[in-house]
Amino acid sequence: MDITLDKNEDQLNAILTVHLTEADYSAAVEGKLKEYSKKAQIKGFRPGKVPVTLVRKMYGKGILADEINSLLGKAVDGYIKENNIKILGEPLPLETQVDFDTQKDFDFKFELGLLPDFELPADQSITVDRQQVTVDEKTLEETHDQITRQFGESTNPDESETGDYLYGKLKKVGEEGEGRVVLLPTNKVKNGADKFIGVKPGDEITFDLKDAFAGDASDIANFSGLSKEEAASAEGDYVLAVEKINRTTTPEVNQELFDKVFGKDVVTSKEDFDEKVRTTIQENYDREAEGLMNRQIVDQMVNNTTITVPKEFFKKWLVRANEGKLTAEQVDEHYDDYERELKWSMIRNKVVEEQGLKVSNDEIVDRTMQKILGQFNMEMTDELRESMRSFADNYLRQENGKNYVNEYEAILAEKVIENLRGKVVVNDKPVSAEDFRSQAAS
């Protein structure tokens, strides 16, 4: 057997050629033929007494093809590993004409996409923003409104009053179609509120959208489904076809409400409840801000790392690896996204290798137990830990270990981001909750 690797001038593509002679495969083929002759059941011959020559005539080509394919797979994989060749995806076999009746020697070619060496950006050369969100009174008011709607008693009266929500379809006057489904809050209407009071299902309300909400793009976007930019530029009259009126009675602020919102006896007074609401909102925004910053780190690392990808090979491999799911046209359409994902994967793997990042089995099990307990809003105790571990182990073994791999990858990804955070400049940037929501949605 002889294996050669010919790299293109760009050093990103290569052809791997495997030359096989009869000596490379004959012994394995003969062994298989003898096995078949012992097991074959052919009319006129006793089991185990079928002549090898007959088996060769009937099954020889198939056995030869199978053994050569097996030999090729091992040879190609072994060559790539032994020579530490970093490839993209898998080798793509090139079409080869063979004649198993007459040929004794064979040449098989494989196309390789080679992954280039690259350097990560210098430490502290990349800057990202960490949003420090301030919880304002408007955000608190909206949260209390959500609590009221979630835990208050809901009814659908025949006629609207102040504070009701009007469910229906909204569209600009003269616009084709039925419009978009909305839930309009009457208590947010600042001008011409009388139009929305005393309304019944089946009524239509025509109003100047921008004027009704005093140009507050945030309020308009929140209920209309428009983006903040679209809401800010909304002009002229709109019509709301009312289908239903939603009214929610404000729940009593008592221990029953506290328990419904945060769990039994977590808070026991109005002051503690208000503080817990504020703290929870802040924690949620802080968590979202961390996620936004992490996405910035990924984007900046990809944008500032020079990696040349074997583009045409990558496209072919994507189609081949996703046969029946992706077409060449679809790959072309979304190629930039696929390339960015590949580059980030290469950067992530380089960080793991250079920094020696690892994930232990205990980390995976502990994370799984915490997730399970979090679903039931329970805290980990020594007593619970023992009983939950077997439950977690069972979950991680499910789907042929796929759950285990998913948890492993998630923890490793977090470690990569944490490592990179120590290598970038982080600027704290104060921002209002409203502005932050706009940024996160864009």
Residue range 265-323, pLDDT digits in tens: 889 999 999 999 999 999 999 999 999 999 999 999 999 999 999 999 999 999 999 99
pLDDT score of 209 more than 60: yes
pLDDT score of 65 more than 80: yes
* More confident position, 373 or 243: 243
Average pLDDT over all residues of the chain: 90
pLDDT at residue number 56: 77
- pTM for the model stands at 0.75
Of 26-40, 92-106, 168-182, which has the strongest mean pLDDT?
Answer: 168-182
What are the structural domains, with CATH classification, of the chain?
Answer: 2-113 (3.30.70.1050), 153-249 (3.10.50), 268-441 (1.10.3120)
Q: Are 170 and 180 in contact (CB under 8 A)?
A: yes
pLDDT score of 377 more than 90: no
* More confident position, 417 or 29: 417
* pLDDT tens sequence across 391-403: 888 889 988 889 9
pLDDT score of 35 more than 80: no
Compute how many other C-beta atoms are within 10 angstroms of the C-beta atom of residue 429: 14
pLDDT at residue number 379: 63
For the segment 169-193, the average pLDDT, to the nearest whole number, is: 93
For the segment 100-115, the average pLDDT, to the nearest whole number, is: 91
pLDDT score of 338 more than 90: yes
**Banded model confidence at residue 4, pLDDT cuts 50, 70, 90:** very high
Q: Which residues pair with 162 in a beta bridge?
A: none
Looking at the chain, the whole-number percentage of residues with pLDDT higher than 90 is: 64
* pLDDT tens sequence across 140-152: 988 988 898 889 8
pLDDT score of 387 more than 90: no
